[in-house]
Structure 1
Amino acid sequence: MSDKKMDDFSRILERLEKRLLKAGKENSIKMTRDLITVQNRLYMQLESLSWLQRRLSIKGQLPGLRGWAASPDVLLHLHTHIMTSRPSVVVEFGSGASTLVIADALRQNGMGKLISIEHSNHYGVQTLATLEAEYLQTWVDLRIGDLESWEDEHMSPKNAEKPARWYPKSLLNGVESVDLLWVDGPPGVTCLYSRYPALPAMSDRLSTKAEVWMDDTIRQEEKDICERWGQDHGFQLEYYPLEKGLGRLTRAV
């Protein structure tokens, strides 16, 4: 190989080495930033869980709060709000850890009732067992029914792969003057915009001071639903930057 070719080859290797070093440095910086972000998020959840446990009056442990379950930060907000606002009637769609947290706040207030709507008999039985273990069952009316076709207006297009389904309307019999509506179901895999029917089905059952809370607003579907609800039902919408997001709709003043 000639000296010129050797020089050219050396320069190519030098440039390649610089690029690799630069890429490695940039990747290292990104990994460090991502690690710090994860650490901060984990700390926030541990801090929220610690404060939540201090506020709760239960003797046992909470159900697992990872995966599909509500996160500690939103449960802390929920418990604090209920103890402060002292609602008479709370309705939730989707039972679980939130059922225990809401019931505990009602018991500490010494007033109120939670109507918990659940589609899964398996999870409903688990929730009831947890409530009974903490002597909270008297504060909760747990209603279970398989999801069924939703024939009224829906955000899901008519030609969607999965037809719109929601809880049986019969589960809402006798429900009125609801002060807080907590929406954490049905699961998103049910159909597109699976949680949309909650407010249309409940709009004439809400009190004048009612608030609507939507979990999981880091997902675009839940954001779209909240914005549609706000437009159609005259609510003001606010988002809280929690781990999984929280949309809070309040009556326009």
Structure 2
Amino acid sequence: MRSKALILVAALASGAVVFAVPTDWRAPVLVALAVLAFGLYAVRERAALRALRDVGQRQSDRVNRDAGQLRIALAEQGEKLDAQAVQAARIEKAVAQTTALGKEIASLHVAATNETLAALRGHEEENRKRLNGFEEILGRSEKQLAGLLSSAEARRLNSGVLQGLEREFRQVEALLNLYATVTVREPLPPSRKWAMSPDLLAYLVSLVQVRKPSLIVELGSGLSSVWLGYALEKSGHAGRLISIEHDAEFLAKTRRMLADHGLDHLVELRHAPLSELTLDGESWPWYDRAAFASLSGIDLLIVDGPPAATRDHARYPALPVLSEQLASDAVVIMDDCVRQEETDIVSRWRDAYPGWNLEVLPHEKITSVLIR
């Protein structure tokens, strides 16, 4: 008996499974074979799905890892921005505090200056009243002395006292002008006596503002160095002051005073001990010449040293030593011409170095001004 076969094909995802079954088999066998075919198909599909799920899981893990790294980077960037914001806030606060402090200091300076000027004006008014009172007293005294002194003697006595009071008033007036011209930041020592008088100091400050000298040389440092420093600061031009001093202790005091007033950047102090100088066959105790070696084009020379006690006509070498280092339009100031020695020195200079014009100023100590 010829047997016939029933061809059963099970389609799978990756291909097909073919079973050849005899046609005369019973139906259960056919069903079993069909179930087996589709079971194989399901197994392969499950494996494919599992592989696809694994790929998806790996992709998800990678995305989560990248997202985590991005969150960390963003957090670090946020922390940096927060730190920068805190630093900026601190800087802004410091700037505000500095600005407020500057305003407070400026206000204190203005208040102190106004208080000083008010006090000086009060002193001026008080001196005026005293002067008027003295005039009345002297008027009465003149009448009382009329029987004892001749009228000429009484007038001479009265005139001498009034001149003395007038000199005092002129110095107070010059001091007021000084404080009105520049803003002084710290208290200053008294003027007059060994230091320059207020009238000469006021003249020098005015001279600096008008002529604007590039180089000032001062023989003898001290209070004048401070006022000249303030004058240079007020004028605003690129000038400097070289102050020559033979006394190391006095030089140190001047240096501290300049530092207290914030003027040490405008004034250079040079220590020049007195050494022997031969000039015109004479020996002079004079500043060490090395202190002047680098100076040229001196616009303003102020002669206030060496001290007169070192020898007679002690300041004479100033012009012979420095004449070649003076500018063509230089000004030379000689202080203390109330003394005959300084007057004689100026006369000798004019004889030895013609071409200088002389102006004598009626200051308390008499000032000689030589101008080319």
TM-score (norm 1): 0.84
SS at match of 1:138: coil
Tell me if the contact between 1:92 and 1:182 (Cα under 8 Å) persists in the aligned partners. yes
Q: Which moved more, 1:171-180 or 1:61-70?
A: 61-70
How do 1:56-71 residues align onto structure 2 when only pairs under 5 Å count? 56-71=182-197
Distance in 2 (alpha carbons) for counterparts of 1:146 and 1:208: 29
Higher CA-based Rg:
2
Q: Which moved more, 1:104-113 or 1:25-34?
A: 25-34
RMSD (Å) for aligned C-alpha atoms = 1.7
Deviation at 1:23, TM superposition (A): 3.1
Q: In the alignment, is residue 186 of structure 1 matched against residue 306 of structure 2?
A: yes
Aligned to 1:146: 273
Aligned to 2:84: none
Aligned to 2:259: 132
Aligned to 1:44: 170
SS at match of 1:209: strand
Deviation at 1:26, TM superposition (A): 5.6
Aligned to 1:11: none
Deviation at 1:63, TM superposition (A): 2.1
Letter in 2 for 1:149: E
Deviation at 1:183, TM superposition (A): 0.5
Aligned to 1:168: 288
Aligned to 2:332: 212
Aligned to 2:227: 101
Aligned to 1:3: none
Q: How many residues of Structure 1 are paired with residues of Structure 2 in the alignment? A: 225
Q: Decide which of 226, 246, 262 is 1:119's aligned counterpart.
A: 246
Aligned to 1:244: 365
Q: Decide which of 152, 157, 161 is 1:35's aligned counterpart.
A: 161
Distance in 1 (alpha carbons) for counterparts of 2:188 and 2:280: 37
Distance in 2 (alpha carbons) for counterparts of 1:189 and 1:169: 20
Alpha-carbon deviations, 1:121-171, whole Å to 9, x = none? 1111111111001110011110112211121227xxx5xxxx521111011
Alpha-carbon deviations, 1:55-89, whole Å to 9, x = none? 12221122211211100000000000001100000
SS at match of 2:227: helix
Q: Decide which of 306, 314, 317 is 1:197's aligned counterpart.
A: 317
Letter in 1 for 2:309: V
Letter in 1 for 2:164: V
Q: In the alignment, is residue 75 of structure 1 matched against residue 201 of structure 2?
A: yes
Answer 1 or 2: which has greater helix percent. 2
User: Comparing both chains, which one has the higher relative contact order based on Cα–Cα distances under 8 Å and sequence gaps of 6 or more?
Assistant: 1
Deviation at 1:198, TM superposition (A): 0.7
Aligned to 2:210: 84
TM-score (norm 2): 0.58
Distance in 2 (alpha carbons) for counterparts of 1:61 and 1:227: 38
Distance in 2 (alpha carbons) for counterparts of 1:230 and 1:106: 29
Tell me if the contact between 1:181 and 1:212 (Cα under 8 Å) persists in the aligned partners. yes
Aligned to 1:4: none
Distance in 2 (alpha carbons) for counterparts of 1:40 and 1:82: 27
Tell me if the contact between 1:93 and 1:116 (Cα under 8 Å) persists in the aligned partners. yes
Distance in 1 (alpha carbons) for counterparts of 2:149 and 2:301: 50
SS at match of 2:310: coil
Tell me if the contact between 1:177 and 1:207 (Cα under 8 Å) persists in the aligned partners. yes
Tell me if the contact between 1:69 and 1:97 (Cα under 8 Å) persists in the aligned partners. yes
Alpha-carbon deviations, 1:101-125, whole Å to 9, x = none? 1111111122201000011111111
Unaligned 5+ residue runs, structure 2?
1-145
Aligned-residue identity in percent: 35
